[in-house]
Amino acid sequence: MSNRQIKTASVAFEPVAEHKPSPPSGWLLLFGVFFPAAVIVIELATKLCAQTLFDPMPTWGHVVAVAFVPASNLLIWTALNQQQRWSARWLAFANGAAIAIASLYALLFLPLLPMAIVAIAHT
Protein backbone atom coordinates (compact mmCIF):
# COMPACT_ATOMS: atom_id res chain seq x y z
CA MET A 1 0.00 0.00 0.00
CA SER A 2 1.04 3.52 -0.65
CA ASN A 3 1.06 6.18 2.00
CA ARG A 4 0.76 9.06 -0.45
CA GLN A 5 -1.79 11.72 0.33
CA ILE A 6 -3.97 13.35 -2.34
CA LYS A 7 -2.55 16.83 -2.77
CA THR A 8 -5.57 18.25 -4.58
CA ALA A 9 -7.96 17.73 -1.70
CA SER A 10 -7.56 21.32 -0.55
CA VAL A 11 -8.21 22.82 -3.99
CA ALA A 12 -11.52 24.66 -4.33
CA PHE A 13 -13.07 25.06 -7.74
CA GLU A 14 -14.76 28.39 -8.32
CA PRO A 15 -16.85 29.43 -11.29
CA VAL A 16 -15.13 31.71 -13.75
CA ALA A 17 -16.91 34.92 -14.65
CA GLU A 18 -18.14 35.02 -18.23
CA HIS A 19 -15.70 36.86 -20.48
CA LYS A 20 -17.42 39.54 -22.52
CA PRO A 21 -15.42 40.60 -25.56
CA SER A 22 -14.93 44.30 -26.03
CA PRO A 23 -17.03 45.83 -28.81
CA PRO A 24 -15.25 46.49 -32.10
CA SER A 25 -13.69 49.88 -32.56
CA GLY A 26 -14.71 52.59 -34.96
CA TRP A 27 -11.44 52.09 -36.85
CA LEU A 28 -12.65 48.69 -37.99
CA LEU A 29 -15.83 50.30 -39.24
CA LEU A 30 -13.86 53.01 -41.03
CA PHE A 31 -11.27 50.79 -42.74
CA GLY A 32 -13.44 47.70 -43.15
CA VAL A 33 -16.68 49.26 -44.39
CA PHE A 34 -16.53 52.95 -45.31
CA PHE A 35 -13.14 53.02 -47.05
CA PRO A 36 -13.81 49.99 -49.32
CA ALA A 37 -17.32 51.25 -50.08
CA ALA A 38 -15.93 54.68 -51.00
CA VAL A 39 -13.31 53.11 -53.29
CA ILE A 40 -16.01 51.09 -55.05
CA VAL A 41 -18.21 54.17 -55.52
CA ILE A 42 -15.27 56.26 -56.80
CA GLU A 43 -14.26 53.55 -59.30
CA LEU A 44 -17.84 53.16 -60.54
CA ALA A 45 -18.23 56.92 -60.92
CA THR A 46 -14.89 57.79 -62.52
CA LYS A 47 -13.62 54.50 -64.06
CA LEU A 48 -10.13 55.74 -63.17
CA CYS A 49 -8.57 52.30 -62.87
CA ALA A 50 -10.51 50.95 -65.85
CA GLN A 51 -9.21 53.73 -68.11
CA THR A 52 -5.63 53.66 -66.86
CA LEU A 53 -4.75 50.04 -66.06
CA PHE A 54 -7.47 47.40 -66.25
CA ASP A 55 -11.14 47.14 -65.39
CA PRO A 56 -11.46 45.51 -61.97
CA MET A 57 -15.27 45.42 -62.18
CA PRO A 58 -16.20 44.75 -65.82
CA THR A 59 -19.67 43.34 -65.11
CA TRP A 60 -22.38 43.89 -62.53
CA GLY A 61 -21.56 40.46 -61.10
CA HIS A 62 -18.07 41.72 -60.28
CA VAL A 63 -19.57 44.83 -58.69
CA VAL A 64 -21.83 42.68 -56.50
CA ALA A 65 -18.91 40.44 -55.50
CA VAL A 66 -16.69 43.39 -54.62
CA ALA A 67 -19.52 45.15 -52.76
CA PHE A 68 -20.00 41.97 -50.71
CA VAL A 69 -16.73 42.70 -48.88
CA PRO A 70 -17.81 45.92 -47.10
CA ALA A 71 -21.35 44.54 -46.70
CA SER A 72 -20.13 41.44 -44.88
CA ASN A 73 -17.70 43.52 -42.81
CA LEU A 74 -20.63 45.71 -41.75
CA LEU A 75 -22.68 42.62 -40.90
CA ILE A 76 -19.90 41.19 -38.74
CA TRP A 77 -19.18 44.54 -37.10
CA THR A 78 -22.87 44.95 -36.28
CA ALA A 79 -23.11 41.44 -34.84
CA LEU A 80 -20.06 42.03 -32.64
CA ASN A 81 -21.17 45.51 -31.59
CA GLN A 82 -24.69 44.49 -30.56
CA GLN A 83 -23.51 41.18 -29.07
CA GLN A 84 -26.46 39.40 -30.61
CA ARG A 85 -26.64 35.65 -30.89
CA TRP A 86 -26.32 35.42 -34.65
CA SER A 87 -25.46 32.17 -36.31
CA ALA A 88 -21.70 31.89 -36.15
CA ARG A 89 -21.71 29.61 -39.18
CA TRP A 90 -23.25 32.25 -41.43
CA LEU A 91 -20.95 34.95 -40.10
CA ALA A 92 -17.94 32.69 -40.63
CA PHE A 93 -19.12 31.89 -44.16
CA ALA A 94 -19.61 35.60 -44.97
CA ASN A 95 -16.21 36.44 -43.50
CA GLY A 96 -14.51 33.65 -45.45
CA ALA A 97 -16.16 34.73 -48.70
CA ALA A 98 -15.10 38.34 -48.10
CA ILE A 99 -11.52 37.24 -47.40
CA ALA A 100 -11.48 35.17 -50.60
CA ILE A 101 -12.79 38.04 -52.73
CA ALA A 102 -10.42 40.58 -51.16
CA SER A 103 -7.46 38.19 -51.58
CA LEU A 104 -8.24 37.68 -55.25
CA TYR A 105 -8.34 41.41 -55.88
CA ALA A 106 -5.17 41.91 -53.83
CA LEU A 107 -3.43 39.42 -56.15
CA LEU A 108 -4.77 41.27 -59.21
CA PHE A 109 -3.27 44.53 -57.97
CA LEU A 110 -0.02 43.00 -56.68
CA PRO A 111 1.97 43.68 -59.90
CA LEU A 112 1.23 47.39 -59.45
CA LEU A 113 2.86 47.49 -56.00
CA PRO A 114 6.43 48.34 -57.20
CA MET A 115 5.15 51.25 -59.28
CA ALA A 116 3.08 52.49 -56.35
CA ILE A 117 6.07 52.39 -54.02
CA VAL A 118 8.18 54.36 -56.51
CA ALA A 119 5.38 56.88 -57.04
CA ILE A 120 4.95 57.38 -53.31
CA ALA A 121 8.71 57.74 -52.79
CA HIS A 122 8.95 60.46 -55.46
CA THR A 123 6.22 62.63 -53.98
Looking at residues 2-27, what average pLDDT do you find? 73
| 75 and 81 Cβ atoms separated by less than 8 Å | no
Q: How far apart are CA 112 and CA 123, in angstroms?
A: 17
Nearest by Cα to 95 from 86, 107, 82: 86
Under the banding of pLDDT at 50, 70 and 90, the label for residue 70 is very high
pLDDT surpassing 70 at residue 27: yes
pLDDT surpassing 70 at residue 9: no
Q: What is the pLDDT of residue 6?
A: 63
Compute the Cα dihedral for 106, 53, 29, 97 and give only its sign: negative
To the nearest 10°, report the CA torsion of 42, 114, 99, 72. -20
Under the banding of pLDDT at 50, 70 and 90, the label for residue 88 is confident
Domain boundaries of the chain, sorted by first residue: 26-121
pTM of the model: 0.75
For 29, 52, 85, 90, the CA distances from 69, given in Å and listed in that order, are: 12, 24, 22, 14
End-to-end CA distance of the chain: 83
